[in-house]
Amino acid sequence: MSSSTQVSGTGVVAPPDSTGISIIVVGGGFGGLSCAIECKRKGHSVVVLERVPGLHIQGDVISFGPNAGRIIQRWGLHDKIWELCRHVDKLVLHNYLGEIVREQPLPLPLWGAWGYDGHRAEMHQVIYEYAVSLGIDVRFGYTVQEYYEDDAGSKAGVRVEAKGEVVSMEADLVVAADGVKSKARKYILGYDDKPRSSGYAVYRAWFNGQEQGVDTDPLTDYLTKGEDAFFGWIGRDVHFLASSAKGGKEISWVITRKNDFEVTDNWSFPGKMEDVLAVVDGWEPRCAATLAKAPSCIDWKLIIHDPLPTWISKSARVVLIGDAAHPFLPTSMQGGSQAIEDGVVLAVALQLAGKDNLPLAVQAWEKIRYLRVRESQLIGEDVRNRWHRCQPGDRGPMLDVPRPEWLFAFDAEVNAYEVFESVARDIRENGYNRPVLPPELAP
């Protein structure tokens, strides 16, 4: 096939609506928007339904590894996103007394791709604008209340509330990217999967460093010396990360500590500064000084779900992606990246299987994604455990944030084109079975 007629392949944008597959994406976070973008690029028709009335500034620092950066670059968004991000080449890690225990080099690009650490809302805006530029119909103020599939298993639909009315919308596939509090999860599983407390919570903040006097205080100006910085402190089942972006102007910090809490419908609360400062009582003075500069902060309880037995409905016409399927601990720095990979792989699988084999596409997609997601998730627990169980003499690379080749050098789109046919053949020949975790990856 000549390149002028090529409609399929890594980075190739297929003619609009060329596959005839219609998709409703529920949720316009990174997972939902990325899925919509890739579905559009692969020739499917897609609409995004988002509950909130419009884009708004929410969240603070979020990370995308080179595995997601590779996709973002393919969309041509590197320059726009990079200018919003923290530009550092190392993490300077201390013990709580302020002795440097490791300077971890963080070279970028890594395995041919950039990684991004920046403000969630700013990066989200760039991705949203790209989605709109592709002609994707993103509807704000649409709250999905219910999911269904028809008896023949040939259509899926949602009952959605918008502008005071409840209407039904149908498509070949419904992708639920509705986040950690997913409503679709119960529809898929047939029972309420209760989240659990991880036993940890974070205080987090993002603010303008100059307005808060970070640059004029000798205890905090380490973050604002004309360039960005990334510092960390570890001790007594706590770790504290502080960094700056945009030439040291914008500051963010996250401090993770043990916290027993009951899981309720809400796990994000305003943080009280006296409680925050109590966590670093007796620590090197730069820690309290940096924390105290924030005008406000959030107390974000870290909840976890055991791996779900499946991400797809019985008729394989409703699927969970992103946090709805597999929430991540922040220490994995992969929640957003894996949500992006989910959408990329799903779009390829649908393109290769075609409209008449849509359940096969979805089943193969789950099989391709399931173990990789779980392995990425476990990185979060590994980093937290190594830092929080750190002994006074621990130093050096044993404290590094992992940047493994299997995770960061991976190209989800290339891989999906490579492995789809053999995975699909296996399902055709042997039937579909729910994924099984090997013992070493089980919770």
Ligand X SMILES: Cc1cc2nc3c(=O)[nH]c(=O)nc-3n(C[C@H](O)[C@H](O)[C@H](O)COP(=O)(O)OP(=O)(O)OC[C@H]3O[C@@H](n4cnc5c(N)ncnc54)[C@H](O)[C@@H]3O)c2cc1C
Does 419 contact ligand X by CB under 6 A?
A: no
Q: Does 106 bind ligand X (CB under 6 A)?
A: no
Location of structure tokens 């939902």: 32
Residue 296 binds to ligand X (criterion: CB under 6 A): no
Binding mask 170-189 for ligand X (x = CB under 6 A): -------xxxx--x------
120 is catalytic: no
Report if residue 323 touches ligand X, rule: CB under 6 A.
yes
Sole binder of ligand X in the list 27, 43, 307, 359 (CB under 6 A):
27
Contact segment (CB under 6 A) with ligand X among 138-146, 192-200, 307-315, 395-403 equals 138-146
The SS3 assignment for 187 reads: helix
Choice from 143, 259, 315, 357 touching ligand X (CB under 6 A): 143
Instruction: Note whether 336 binds ligand X by CB under 6 A.
Output: yes
Whose CA is closest to 21, among 173, 164, 150, 131? 173
**Shortest spacing between CB 383 and ligand X, in angstroms:** 14
Select from 12, 47, 52, 427 the one that contacts ligand X (CB under 6 A): 52
CA dist list (Å): 258 to 200, 254, 422: 4, 13, 45
Residue type, position 372, single letter: R
- Assess contact for 67 and 341: CB atoms under 8 A: yes
- Classified as helix, coil or strand, 50 is strand
Judged by CB under 6 A, which stretch of 8-16, 48-56, 78-86, 369-377 contacts ligand X?
A: 48-56
Nearer to ligand X, 265 or 440 (CB): 265
Give the Å distances, CA to CA, from 237 to 299, 398, 443. Answer: 17, 17, 21
The residue from 339, 345, 348, 373 that contacts ligand X (CB under 6 A) is 339
Total Cβ atoms within 10 A of residue 263 = 14
Q: Which is nearer to ligand X, 154 or 268 (CB)?
A: 268
Spot the catalytic one: 102, 204, 257, 384: 204
Length of the chain: 443
Contact region with ligand X (CB under 6 A), list: 54-62, 127-135, 269-277, 344-352: 54-62
50 near ligand X, judged by CB under 6 A? yes
H-helix or E-strand containing 25?
strand 22-26
Structural tokens at position 342: 């989910």
Tokens representing residue 127 in the block = 């991705």
Question: Whose CA is closest to 81, among 210, 246, 194, 217?
Answer: 246
User: To the nearest whole angstrom, how small is the minimum distance from the Cβ of residue 413 to ligand X?
Assistant: 18
By the rule CB under 6 A, 335 interacts with ligand X: yes
Least Å distance, CB 53 to ligand X, is 10
Four-point Cα dihedral 82, 88, 90, 91, nearest 10: -90
Positions annotated as catalytic residues are: 204
